[in-house]
């Protein structure tokens, strides 16, 4: 970057990102179930407590896509044809071991989930005693400075240490805010114990150079410009669903505890007490027997909510949520039996498959940036770099494997045996399986030839050429 920011500039960058963080915080609340319906008036017009029902479709959409795309961890494979094959294979093994130590599959799930909700996620790389560490963070704690090309040139992380935290050799008796500023050459940390967060009270507590020669920060996203997948339009459908469910629950409860209308009874008579001090109204409730005089009448006053309208509105909202969330409503597809063709189900899932392609096209560059940062540190320690590799995402598409086994043989005229075996999910190594099958067939042919000699005699022998 070529220059260090002043404390005032750091504070300005943090402040300029406030609106984005505010929107992200709202999305975070919705995904955690703290939705607008919970802020509604808690009392009905009849004075009773309202039902405030949350059916958390936002979390449902996020979990569905996260499990679908990254539930099976992305795989890194050696690219055939590398001019330095052995070195590249060794590098891949060592980097996979590093990823296991840092539990990268779990980090990727967190990054993907964050990216869907907030539009972005962040991880920081660090080195301690020669070991590489990777830490994931929520974007709610970050602010960024971009250049004219849209690249991040400065990343700022803010954390607040609570009272009672051990920091700087002391137990804090008041909160302390830490601002960590990352650029392409240094990591600077400022502390502030001022409630007003006045920049004049900031103290520089650390200023260290790093060896990455670029930001040691990886920025994850699943969309262009870091836009959240959870849109305002989707949230409006979520709100509509919650409102309908809550109002319907109010209506059901109202009718369960409906008012009893008595015609031909004086109101005061219901409150008259017997010798034991029990009112006639209390006896009605206890004994559930109502004696009526001639010409009297009794009926409950029902509100009469329209079931069809409620079900129709809920279905409209449910359908809209699935459509806008690029999801298939699998429960509606499977119906009561839970049975359906795997191939048919996959066709229903095509919108989700298409959306996953978009997600991974934006997510993959961050995975490559991660390896780029690892390569830089490996190079400083005289270790080889991983350069020729592929990243593969395996979507968790539900399939009926028996269907595949029954139909894969129909592709004999189009695909090799190895390519056919690649279509079967339970086969991890198609080439090894094809080799074993070929060996089995060879053994069977040899056995058949020997058996022919043993049974048929010399005049009946049919010579068979066995391909090696």
DSSP letters spanning 205-265: EEEEE-SSSS-SEEEE-SSGGG--SS-HHHHHHHHHHHHHHHHHHHHHHHHHTPEEEEES-
Which tokens go with 124?
Answer: 């920081």
Distance in angstroms (rounded) separating the CA atoms of residues 258 and 262: 13
**Per-residue confidence band for 1, with pLDDT thresholds at 50, 70 and 90:** low
Task: Note the helical H segments in 51-169.
Answer: 57-70, 85-101, 104-118
305 pLDDT higher than 70: no
* Alpha-carbon gap, residue 56 to 239, rounded angstroms: 10
Is residue 275 very low, low, confident or very high in pLDDT (cuts 50, 70, 90)? confident
- For residue 271, the Cα-to-chain-centroid distance in whole angstroms is 60
Higher per-residue pLDDT: 437 or 258: 437
pLDDT above 90: residue 349? no
Give the whole-number percent of the chain exceeding pLDDT 90: 52
Asked whether residue 334 carries a pLDDT value surpassing 70, the answer given is: no
C-alpha to C-alpha distances, 414 to 392, 408, 411, 417, nearest whole angstrom: 24, 11, 5, 10
Higher-confidence position of 435 and 194: 435
| Beta carbons of 424 and 401 less than 8 angstroms apart | yes
- Tell me, what's the pLDDT at 400? 57
Question: In this model, does residue 197 exceed pLDDT 50?
Answer: yes
466 — alpha (psi -120 to 50), left (phi > 0) or beta?
Answer: beta
Of residues 294 and 64, more confidence is placed in: 64
Query: Is the predicted pLDDT of residue 129 greater than 90, yes or no?
Result: no
Neighbours of 68 (CB within 10 A): 21
Average pLDDT over every residue of 258-270:
74
User: Span 215-236, mean pLDDT?
Assistant: 95
168-177, 212-221, 238-247, 398-407 — which is least confidently predicted? Answer: 398-407
Per the structure block, which two tokens stand in for 77? 């494979």
Mean pLDDT in residue range 152-156: 96
Residue range 416-452, pLDDT digits in tens:
888 877 777 667 678 888 888 888 888 878 777 776 6
Rounded-to-integer distance, Cα 314 and Cα 237, Å: 10
Angle between helix axes 57-70 and 232-256 (nearest 10 degrees) is 130
């Amino acid at each position: 970057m070529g220059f260090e920011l002043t404390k005032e500039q750091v504070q300005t960058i943090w402040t300029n990102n406030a609106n984005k963080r505010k929107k992200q915080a709202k999305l975070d609340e919705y995904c955690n179930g703290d939705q607008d319906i919970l802020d509604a008036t808690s009392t009905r017009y009849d004075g009773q407590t309202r039902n405030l029902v949350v059916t958390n479709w936002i979390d449902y959409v996020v979990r569905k896509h996260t499990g679908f795309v990254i539930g099976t961890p992305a795989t890194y494979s050696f690219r055939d044809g590398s001019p330095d094959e052995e070195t590249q294979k060794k590098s891949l093994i060592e980097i996979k071991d590093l990823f296991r130590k840092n539990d990268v599959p779990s980090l990727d799930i967190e990054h993907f989930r964050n990216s869907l909700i907030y539009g972005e996620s962040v991880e920081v790389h660090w080195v301690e005693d020669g070991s590489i560490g990777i830490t994931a963070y929520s974007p709610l704690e970050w602010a960024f400075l971009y250049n004219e090309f849209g690249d991040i040139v400065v990343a700022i992380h803010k954390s607040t240490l609570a009272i009672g935290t051990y920091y700087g050799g002391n137990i804090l008796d008041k909160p302390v805010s830490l601002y960590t500023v990352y650029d392409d050459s240094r990591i600077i940390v400022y502390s502030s114990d001022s409630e007003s967060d006045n920049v004049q009270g900031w103290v520089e507590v650390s200023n260290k150079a790093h060896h990455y020669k670029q930001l040691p920060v990886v920025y994850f996203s699943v969309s262009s410009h870091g836009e959240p997948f959870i849109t305002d339009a989707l949230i409006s459908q979520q709100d509509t669903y919650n409102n309908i469910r809550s109002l319907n629950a109010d209506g059901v409860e109202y009718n369960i505890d409906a008012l009893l209308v008595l015609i031909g009874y004086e109101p005061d008579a219901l409150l008259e007490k017997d010798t034991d001090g029990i009112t006639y109204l209390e006896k009605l409730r206890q004994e559930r027997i109502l004696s009526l005089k001639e010409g009297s009448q009794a009926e409950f006053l029902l509100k009469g909510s329209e079931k069809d309208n409620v079900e129709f509105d809920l279905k409209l909202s449910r359908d809209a949520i699935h459509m806008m969330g690029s999801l298939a409503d699998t429960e509606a597809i499977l119906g009561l039996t839970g049975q359906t063709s795997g191939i048919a189900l996959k066709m229903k899932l095509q919108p989700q498959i298409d959306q996953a392609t978009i997600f991974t096209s934006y997510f993959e560059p961050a995975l490559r940036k991660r390896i780029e940062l690892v390569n830089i540190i490996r190079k400083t320690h005289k270790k080889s770099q991983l350069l020729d590799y592929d990243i593969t995402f395996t979507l968790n598409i539900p399939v009926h494997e028996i269907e595949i086994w029954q139909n894969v043989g129909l592709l004999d005229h189009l695909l090799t045996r190895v390519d056919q075996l690649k279509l079967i999910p339970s086969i991890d190594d198609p080439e090894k399986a094809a080799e074993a099958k070929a060996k089995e067939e060879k053994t069977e042919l040899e056995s058949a030839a020997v058996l022919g000699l043993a049974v048929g005699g010399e005049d009946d022998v049919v010579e068979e050429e066995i391909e090696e």
